[in-house]
């Protein structure tokens, strides 16, 4: 569990499925997702995969809880990834629209990167996003990531940012 001034990042649980479905099926939260909004089957499959990653690796994507209200405002964190043949950590997040504009994404991202630097210092942290995802690019820049290059994300052109160690 990771806490910040306003957020709690905790291991996801089966009870998070309603929040997962609400956030990941919303067309607005998926504007930049090449796969589009998730249906119940995909949201369930993804949540189960995230929980399995926790069992296997001891960390993973989290339920992001607003400490003051106790509401799950998003999902995000770090998961193992291989990029160009090298082990890395993928930084991911998705928040419900009511949480946008509050600075939660950079707050969560900084906390996740700080955890990674302490716990897995040999693995770079990456953010992969579509070229037109200006909000995610701004978050990457805010937390000090640098543009690493270009790649493909679910068949769409994307950019890759990396933390500076």
Q: For residue 123, what pLDDT is reported?
A: 94
Tell the CATH superfamily of the 2-162 domain. Answer: Gcn5-related N-acetyltransferase (GNAT) (3.40.630.30)
- CA-only gyration radius of the chain, Å: 15
User: In whole angstroms, what is the distance from residue 109 CA to residue 126 CA?
Assistant: 11
Answer for the pair 105, 95: CB distance below 8 angstroms, yes or no.
yes
CB atoms within 10 A of CB 2: 16
Q: What are the φ/ψ torsions at residue 114 (nearest 5 degrees)?
A: -60, -45
How is the chain split into domains, by residue range? 2-162
| Tens digit of each residue's pLDDT, the chain (165 residues) | 899 999 999 999 999 999 999 999 999 999 998 888 999 999 999 999 999 999 999 999 999 999 999 999 999 999 999 988 889 999 999 999 999 999 999 999 999 999 999 999 999 999 999 989 999 999 999 999 999 999 887 788 889 999 986
Looking at residue 35, what is its pLDDT?
Answer: 85
pLDDT on residue 40: 95
CB contact at 8 A, 75 and 62: yes
Q: 47 vs 16, 54, 62, 66, CA distance in Å?
A: 8, 11, 10, 19
């Amino acid at each position: 569990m990771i806490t910040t001034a306003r957020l709690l990042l905790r291991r996801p649980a089966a009870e998070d499925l309603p929040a997962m479905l609400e956030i990941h099926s919303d067309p607005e939260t998926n504007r930049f997702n090449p796969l589009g909004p998730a249906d119940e089957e995909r949201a369930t499959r993804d949540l189960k995969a995230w929980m399995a990653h926790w069992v296997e690796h001891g960390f993973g994507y989290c339920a992001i809880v607003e400490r003051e209200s106790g509401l799950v405002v998003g999902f995000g964190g770090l998961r193992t990834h291989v990029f160009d043949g090298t082990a890395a950590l993928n930084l991911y997040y998705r928040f419900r629209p009511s949480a946008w504009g509050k600075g939660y994404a950079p707050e969560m991202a900084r906390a996740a990167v700080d955890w990674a630097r302490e716990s897995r210092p040999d693995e770079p942290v990456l953010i992969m996003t579509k070229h037109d995802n200006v909000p995610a690019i701004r978050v990457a820049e805010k937390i000090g990531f640098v543009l690493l290059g270009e790649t493909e994300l679910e068949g769409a052109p994307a950019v890759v940012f990396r933390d500076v160690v």
